[in-house]
Amino acid sequence: MTPVLRSKRGSLPAGFVPAAFLTGLILVLVLFGVYKEGGREPVRRAGGRFTEPFVGGRKATLAEADRLVNYPLYRPNDPMASDSTIREVWIDEPGGQVAFEYADGLIVFLSEETFDPEQMYENQIKEGVPGKIVTVNGRTALVVSADELGPGSIDFLIDGIEISIIGNLEAPDLIRIAESVSALG
């Protein structure tokens, strides 16, 4: 019998939500940086910045996002991405997702997830994701360097919170930024 995850939206087979999210992450890399997860696509303005990382989402302050979600808002603390360089905060209230856009164009997505990262990332690589599995502060992560097809990304979990960092960076920079992530307050 397939385990079933319970959510506000109903029951889904175990692994469905993480697989859908990682499929969306692959689309970020393959389709010239267009983020799509669960049928959601961001609207972009000139210069490639997001006008909305979540269709139906809205801008929020950092304090407001912290009040509205039931998990810590993990964020990087790196010269390229820190609280002092946050340009915009977005929240998808029904889905409980948060996105941070930083001054250098880096985007960090947060969402609650339950999946085995090692197994999920191994499956993604077997399916052709051009990345590699690395360790970030003792946690399994999937990193993909930016190339001519699109931005790079790194994806990992901290205490059931999936953190996806996306930007026009190579793997070493993405790993460094991921290693700086903590629940800043």
Percent of the chain clearing pLDDT 70 (strictly above): 71
54-103 pLDDT per residue, tens: 777 899 999 999 999 999 999 999 999 999 999 999 999 777 899 999 99
In terms of pLDDT, which residue wins out, 90 or 10? Answer: 90
Report the distance separating Cα 75 and Cα 72, nearest Å. 9
Q: Is the pLDDT of residue 8 over 70?
A: no
| Cβ atoms 149, 136 nearer than 8 A | no
Q: Delimit the domains of the chain by residue range.
A: 4-183
Q: Which of 46-55, 81-90, 124-133, 134-143 has the lowest mean pLDDT?
A: 46-55
Has residue 175 got a pLDDT over 90? yes
pLDDT at 50: 55
> Does an H or E element contain 156, and which?
strand 152-158
Cβ contact 85:101 at 8 Å: no
